[in-house]
Amino acid sequence: MFIEYTFTMDDGKVLHYRVEFERPREHILDKSLYPAWTQLEFHQCPNCPLTTEKYSHCPVAIDAHEIVLGFTEILSCKEVDIHVRTQEREYFKRTDAQTGLRALIGFVMASSACPILSPLRGMAYYHLPFASLDETVFRVTSSYLLHQYYVYQKNGQFDLEFEGLKQRFKETQTLNYHFLERIRAACDADANLNVLATLFTISSMLSLSLERHLKEIEHLFE
Q: Print burial letters for 189-204: b (CB count within 10 Å at least 16), e (below 16).
A: bbbbbbbbbbbbebbb
Distance CA(134)–CA(115), nearest Å, equals 26
The predicted pLDDT at position 170 comes to: 86
At CB < 8 A and 24+ separation, what contacts does 29-34 make?
29/56, 29/57, 29/62, 31/56, 31/57, 34/62, 34/65
CA distance 158 to 139: 18
* Sheet containing 79-86: order of strands: 14-20, 2-8, 79-86, 90-96
**Greatest Cα-to-Cα distance within the chain, rounded to the nearest angstrom:** 58
Mean pLDDT of 194-213: 69
Give residue 20's domain range: 2-221
Task: Provide the Cα torsion 81, 86, 89, 95; round to 10°.
Answer: -20
Of 192 and 136, the structure prediction assigns the larger pLDDT to 136
Q: What is the dihedral of CA 150, 152, 157, 163, to 10 degrees?
A: 40
DSSP state of 6: E
Q: Who wins on pLDDT, 42 or 193?
A: 42
Q: Is the pLDDT of residue 151 over 60?
A: yes
Name the band, by pLDDT with cuts 50, 70 and 90, for residue 2: very high
Q: What percent of the chain has pLDDT over 70?
A: 87
User: Using one digit for the tens of pLDDT, what is the confidence trace for 86-125?
Assistant: 999 999 999 988 888 888 988 999 999 999 999 999 999 9
- Does residue 202 have a pLDDT over 80? no
Amino acid at 118: S
Q: Average pLDDT, stretch 177-198? A: 69
C-alpha–C-alpha distance, residues 35 and 88, integer Å:
34
Say if residue 222's pLDDT is above 70: yes
Q: What is the pLDDT of residue 187?
A: 66
pLDDT band for position 192 (50/70/90)?
A: low
- pLDDT at position 70 over 80: no
Instruction: State the average pLDDT for the chain.
Output: 87
Provide the percentage of residues in the chain whose pLDDT is more than 90: 54
Q: Please name the helix (run of DSSP H) or strand (run of DSSP E) that holds residue 107, with its range, or none.
A: helix 97-110
Cα 125 to Cα 30, 65, 120, 196, distances in angstroms = 29, 21, 9, 21
Note the pLDDT of residue 176.
Answer: 84
- Say if residue 194's pLDDT is above 80: no
Backbone angles phi, psi at 31, to 5 degrees: -65, -20
Could you give the number of structural domains in the chain? 1
Model pLDDT, residue 191: 53
Work out the pLDDT band at 201, boundaries 50, 70, 90.
Answer: low
Q: Examine the pLDDT at 128 and tell me if it is beyond 60.
A: yes
**pLDDT tens string 32-60:** 999 898 999 998 999 999 999 999 999 99
Dihedral of CA atoms 128, 22, 6, 96 in degrees, nearest 10, equals: 50
| Helices and strands in the chain, H and E counts | 6, 4
Strand partners for 18 = 4
Give the phi and the psi of residue 183 in degrees, each rounded to 5.
Answer: -65, -40
